[in-house]
Amino acid sequence: MFENQFITNHKFILATDEVGRGPLAGPVVTCAVKVSIANLDILIETLKSVGVTDSKKLTLKKMESILDQLGVQKFLKKNEHELFEYSVEKVTPKKIDELNIFQASLLGMKKSCHSLLCDSKSVVLVDGKFPFSSKRIKEIHPIIKGDSKSSLIGLASIIAKVCRDHIMIKEAKKYPHYGFEKNAGYPTAVHRNAIQEYGITPIHRKSFKGVKEFVTQENR
């Protein structure tokens, strides 16, 4: 089991991932999952049995089915499951523009972990090359392609992805021209053409190429 190499002398293991670094619109959504070492084996076995893997390899329908099988109540910011806890955070487009997308993603993952009360008894696995910094957490491991290697990171990515997709489906009702319900804010042809024709919305990331060219005094 991939996670076993990190659990020595720890009481809890956390895994965190982000979704939404590439879109031109909408938030970055992060999720952290926390499990006690005592429950780790049974949780990993359960996650594999329902098909947990990297969210980028799964359809929204399949991800929702996985969460339903796990009994996860979707769209809650924080929840305690029978075997694990999870916490979801959103970093707004405005904050993304203030920080940059890299720092905004790290901030979201950090906040997701901190809200689960992790401490010196916890070890954290972060998807990607770079960990966030934290005075509260002594051991943080960046895992390249972690959502494919770790079932816990895979679960975090699925929860974050489902939450973000539904946020963008809701935004599509407010801004119907951009195809957010299908493209989730990513730079598809439909989305780019809509920006050219209708301009940008309050949820667009004004620092991003493909958006900043259309920022005016009125929508700044």
In tens, the pLDDT along 155-190 reads 999 999 999 999 999 999 999 999 999 999 999 999
Per-residue pLDDT, averaged over 132-139, amounts to 90
pLDDT of residue 85: 93
pLDDT of residue 216: 81
Domains and CATH numbers, the chain: 8-169 (3.30.420.10)
Per-residue pLDDT, averaged over 143-149, amounts to 94
pLDDT of residue 75: 62
pLDDT of residue 56: 87
Strand partners, 13: 35, 123
- For residue 108, CA distances in Å to 1, 23, 127, 156, 176 come to 27, 16, 13, 13, 28
DSSP symbol at 25: B
Q: How far apart are CA 166 and CA 68, in angstroms?
A: 15
- pLDDT greater at residue 8 or residue 128: 128
Tens digits of residue pLDDT in 27-81:
999 999 999 999 999 999 999 999 998 898 999 999 999 999 998 876 666 677 7
pLDDT of residue 120: 76
Q: How far apart are CA 100 and CA 117, in angstroms?
A: 26
- For residue 88, CA distances in Å to 144, 160, 214 come to 21, 7, 31
Q: Quick check: 220 pLDDT over 90?
A: no
pLDDT of residue 36: 95
User: Which of 132, 130, 159, 149 has its CA nearest to residue 31?
Assistant: 159
Tens digits of residue pLDDT in 77-126:
667 778 999 999 999 999 999 999 999 999 999 999 999 977 778 999 99
Q: How far apart are CA 133 and CA 161, in angstroms?
A: 24
Residue bearing tokens 């910011």: 77
